Amino acid sequence: MRLSATKLMGALGLMAWGMGVQADELKLEDVLNDYYEAKGGLEVIKGIKSMHAKGKMSMGPMEVPLEIYAKRPNKVHVSFEVQGMKGIQAYDGKTGWAVMPFMGKPDPEEMADDQLKQIQEQADMDGVLVDYEKKGHKVELVGTSEIEGTPVIELKVTKKNGDVMEYFLDEEYKLEVMVRAQTTMMGQEMITESFTSGYQEVGDTVVPMQTTVKVNGAVAQSLTFESFEFNVDVEDAMFSMKEKAEKPAADAAEK
């Protein structure tokens, strides 16, 4: 992890706290507060109104450029290019939609329920652990364990819709090491594990620059980010399926 001197001192403080507290003495409120502080505090987290990230997505031997825009409340737009064709997955707060020309779907189409649930989760800029009670989720402190040799604190999240997720926070830094979830894709139950690493400071918060996603134990994709920007100008039209559908027609009419 690459952290500033200020955050390093805070991390060392958390380290000392962790060394002096036994697993059975952990309290959920303390763990969550330390998690918020590790990300700059709730004021900083909630002060991020929009986000723009650029990087690369690897799926087996194939590596493609990736770009993500997010905006409050609950809007996200993910684009990537495969063989010169641009794919899009987006959510405008109500409708989830996608454009997949390399799959024979060049026009925007609404997402199926399982895809919709995933992109709705992506659209929550704060993540499920922030204001979880207001969102209707339940969070429980499970205890301590290890993920690939790293001591972690395990939290169980039961979402409002009944889905269960497991969050594993680094004992020292109180940041996510891995998130495990059971998902349904094309009618099949799958266990998805997202490993995050390479945390860097961006403004007053920290972000993971690498994410590796495993499905049923096998690596499905890896994300490597090159840059993050916060509180950038983003037009709402970017997230709208209607705007995307009408734009090509308008362009054709002009020609």
What pLDDT digit, counting tens, does each position of 205-241 carry? 999 999 999 999 999 999 999 999 999 999 999 999 9
User: Is it the case that residue 19 has pLDDT exceeding 50?
Assistant: no
- Provide, rounded to the nearest whole percent, the portion of the chain with pLDDT above 90: 73
In the prediction, which pLDDT does 24 show? 61
C-alpha to C-alpha distance for 202 and 156, rounded to whole angstroms = 28
**Mean pLDDT, the chain, integer:** 87
DSSP states of 11-34 as a string?
HHHHHHHHHHS-GGG--HHHHHHH
Task: Summarize the confidence of residues 185-203 as an average pLDDT.
Answer: 90
Quick check: 58 and 242 in contact, CB under 8 A?
A: no
235: helix, strand or coil? coil
Name residues whose C-beta falls within 8 Å of residue 177's C-beta, 6 or more positions apart in sequence. 147, 150, 152, 168, 169, 170, 195, 196, 197
In the prediction, which pLDDT does 245 show? 66
Grade residue 243 by pLDDT with cuts at 50, 70 and 90. Answer: confident
The domain total for the chain is 1
Q: CB-side exposure of 181: number of CA atoms within 13 Å?
A: 18
C-alpha to C-alpha distance for 222 and 225, rounded to whole angstroms = 10
Quick check: 182 and 190 in contact, CB under 8 A?
A: yes
| C-alpha dihedral, 79 to 239 to 209 to 46, nearest 10° | 180
Q: Which two tokens stand for residue 239?
A: 């997230």
Q: Which domain holds residue 74?
A: 5-254
Grade residue 185 by pLDDT with cuts at 50, 70 and 90. Answer: low
Grade residue 182 by pLDDT with cuts at 50, 70 and 90. Answer: confident
The CATH number of residue 73's host domain is 2.50.20.10
Query: Which pTM was predicted?
Result: 0.83
